[in-house]
Amino acid sequence: MSATESSASTTSMLQENRLFPPPAEFAKDAHISSLEQYEQLHQRSIDEPEAFWAEVAEGLHWFKKWEKVLDWDLPDAKWFVGGQTNLAYNCLDRQIDDGLGDKVALVFEGELVDDNGQPEVVKYTYAELKREVCRFANVLKAQGVRKGDVVTIYMGMIPQLAIAMLACARIGAPHAIIFGGFSAQAICDRVEDGKSKIVVTADGSWRRGKPVPLKKNVDDALEMTKLVEKVIVYQRCKNDVTMKDGRDQWWHDLEKDASDDCPAEPMDSEDLAFILYTSGSTGKPKGIMHTTGGYLVHTTMTSKYTFDLKPDDPDEMYWCTADIGWITGHSYIVYGILPNRVPTLMYEGGPNFPAEDRFWDIIERHKVTKFYTAPTAIRTFMKWGDEHIDKHDLSSLKLLGTVGEPINPEAWMWYREKIGGNRCPIVDTWWQTETGGHMLTPMPGATPTTPGSCCRPMLGIDAAVVNSEGEEVGTNEGGILVIRKPWPSMLRGIYGDRQRFIETYWEKVPGMYCPADGARKDENGNFWITGRIDDVILVAGHNIGTMEVESALVSHDSVAEAAVVGFPHEVKGNGVAAYVILRVPMPAPGSDDAKALQKELIQHVGKELGPVAKPDQVRLTEALPKTRSGKIMRRLLRDIAAGNDITSDTSTLEDRTIVDKLVAQGG
Ligand code: WT7
């Protein structure tokens, strides 16, 4: 693995100065069609934020208009105070009210294909989707769910996931969606944290031709907690499941008599819309809270401008490949896209089923115009080879997006050439679960882009690179990325943990929101993200807390102590390396016993946290390199995992021979 690829953010970007102006053909019809226009709009949004955001909000439906745009008492923001709205109403009813009930809102493609290679495709118009949402909302009500009750959803990428979330939004029950790749332990922890009494799940979810046993995972989780009283199960894969009497019920049974009429609950702007868990630098995942009005306004506005969505263009077909279990899916498959009146495509399964060209096949068949994916996926496609792409006609594409981690310039160029045919602008969007929506991104018809840079602040966003005192650093100087003014979709807190909210985001740089990303700003005013400044590892674009993995390892009977670090990985951006001290006698390095134990520990972490967190390397060791004051020298562990020469200063080490042994032992 070359250093250039993984640390795109630090190495290659230094020489990266290619500048691609927005394609003229695209700029011509874009919502924002020149850099001057963007700069004017942005300046005004910073000078008069309340007027700016009020104008955006006016384009949406409110049961009751707000009295005050912003109430800001750092770190607490209230947006559109006194206003009442509903996310589901704005996603569905508003379109129907305007005569667009028969327009396609959601296109679903299942993973399995029939003997002729044809997949299951289901299309929902706004009217059809609303009916489904209302029916399920009535089911939830009949099960006793009331406004304010947290509903846990653990499903695969099927329309019923979107339907369940919109049903929650419709009746004002905050959802807590758990990514379908998470394990029983993760479900249990989240259910307990959110004090959720009801879980919506499915029997299974198709992944590479096999059902992921979702219901089984829920059953295992509910062995560990007594909180959940009801489980609703959607039948997708018809895999074997056990239904527990008095607790578990089939979705289709409950829906039999459900009415498809359910008025949307007027929600106060600041009513909780959902909780979504994200990993932090300390052990426990954080339940990020998003509220209703501001989240709706911000995600709808950013969807429109970042993807230049065109509701009047009958060919518009938007596809985001993220899972709805992550914030990207919440904001840019469902809540931000549906109010924009363009079809949103949802794909159930893996990118290599039945073959490595599945995504390109989907783009060709559905004539996708706007495509949003992650750098780790792009690097995987590069590795699989261009022949899978060359088979397909991708000429429908007009815009490409990326999100989740810094994109290395090589992958950016490949994306532009091979997928975008050199005619599509690329929007590299920087944001977080906590920010709710896009924060830094090019405007596709306006901003000249450089491979690897996420360019400029979104309208309404006041971003800067500062030192720890909050003073702006010079051009091209590294510093801390901060957001200096509140924005509508900002997190309102960490569920049940006020202190952690303040410490994590508001104390690193006093008075400013600190996302814990390093950054620099270049001479063109473009931002470059240089990597996390906390103990979070971005693995394939997913946040993995080193402490979480360490705790999972230590929960294994044979493990006494563990230290976890990230290291550069060709496809995933970063890999996870674990250094483990055993409670039991250490098997000889490289022996079968050692290998078996390493494998077992990897599986153990997978079971505790889910497959995404599985370490790529497990190194058994007698001791960890510590300073004389007892601090683990993680920098050294990173170098060893990456296979780098140990060039950094080791003079503060208590015992240098530990490092030598680890290097000699190999990965
Ligand atoms: C962290 C947030 C936003 C949805 C997916 C991840 C990193 C995200 C970029 C980008 C460089 C990026 C940051 C951020 N990140 N997008 N375009 N360029 N870094 O959401 O799990 O909350 O992770 O992902 O480090 O803080 P998340």
Asked whether 327 lines ligand 1 (CB < 6 A), one says yes
Separate counts of helices (H) and strands (E) for the chain: 23, 30
| Least trusted range by pLDDT, from 306-315, 326-335, 531-540 | 531-540
Task: Categorize the per-residue pLDDT at 282 as very low, low, confident or very high, splitting at 50, 70 and 90.
Answer: low
Are 295 and 273 in contact by the 8 Å Cβ rule? The answer is: yes
Asked whether 405 lines ligand 1 (CB < 6 A), one says yes
- Interatomic CA distance for residues 292 and 629, integer angstroms: 48
Q: Work out the percent of the chain whose per-residue pLDDT is above 70.
A: 97
Q: Does position 9 have pLDDT exceeding 50, yes or no? A: no
What values do phi and psi take at 226, rounded to 5? -100, 5
Reported as a single tens digit per residue, the pLDDT across 553-596 is 999 999 988 999 999 999 999 999 999 999 999 999 899 999 99
How buried is residue 281: exposed, middle or buried, by Cβ count under 10 Å (0-12/13-18/19+)?
Answer: middle
Question: Hey, which bits of 448-506 come out as E strands?
Answer: 463-466, 479-483, 493-494
Reported as a single tens digit per residue, the pLDDT across 594-607 is 999 999 999 999 99
Residue 466 half-sphere exposure toward CB, CA atoms < 13 A: 19
What is the Å distance from ligand 1's center to 406 Cα? 8
Q: CA nearest 406: which of 518, 484, 483, 548?
A: 518
Task: Categorize the per-residue pLDDT at 517 as very low, low, confident or very high, splitting at 50, 70 and 90.
Answer: very high
Q: Does position 14 have pLDDT exceeding 70, yes or no? A: no
Q: CA nearest 297: which of 273, 265, 324?
A: 273
Asked whether 406 lines ligand 1 (CB < 6 A), one says yes
- Interatomic CA distance for residues 170 and 87, integer angstroms: 7
Reported as a single tens digit per residue, the pLDDT across 40-58 is 999 999 999 999 999 999 9
**What pLDDT score does 164 carry?**
99
CB neighbours of residue 213 within 10 Å: 17
Q: What is the CA radius of gyration of the chain?
A: 24
- Interatomic CA distance for residues 169 and 610, integer angstroms: 27
How buried is residue 570: exposed, middle or buried, by Cβ count under 10 Å (0-12/13-18/19+)?
Answer: middle
Reported as a single tens digit per residue, the pLDDT across 646-665 is 877 777 787 888 898 999 88
Average pLDDT, the chain: 94
What is the Å distance from ligand 1's center to 256 Cα? 42
Report, as an integer, the average pLDDT of 370-375: 97
Report, as an integer, the average pLDDT of 216-240: 98
The pTM is what? 0.92
- Nearest alpha carbon, ligand 1 atom 20: 432
Q: Does position 67 have pLDDT exceeding 50, yes or no? A: yes
- Nearest alpha carbon, ligand 1 atom 19: 405
Residue given tokens 């674009």 in the structure block: 541
- Interatomic CA distance for residues 580 and 563, integer angstroms: 7
The ligand 1 atom at the shortest distance from the C-alpha of residue 531 is 25
Rounded to 5°, angle at Cα 601 from 599 and 607: 105
Asked whether 309 lines ligand 1 (CB < 6 A), one says no
- Interatomic CA distance for residues 414 and 423, integer angstroms: 13
Residue by residue, DSSP assigns 203-225 as S-EEETTEEE-HHHHHHHHHHH-
Residue given tokens 């814990």 in the structure block: 516
Structure tokens at 483: 């957001």
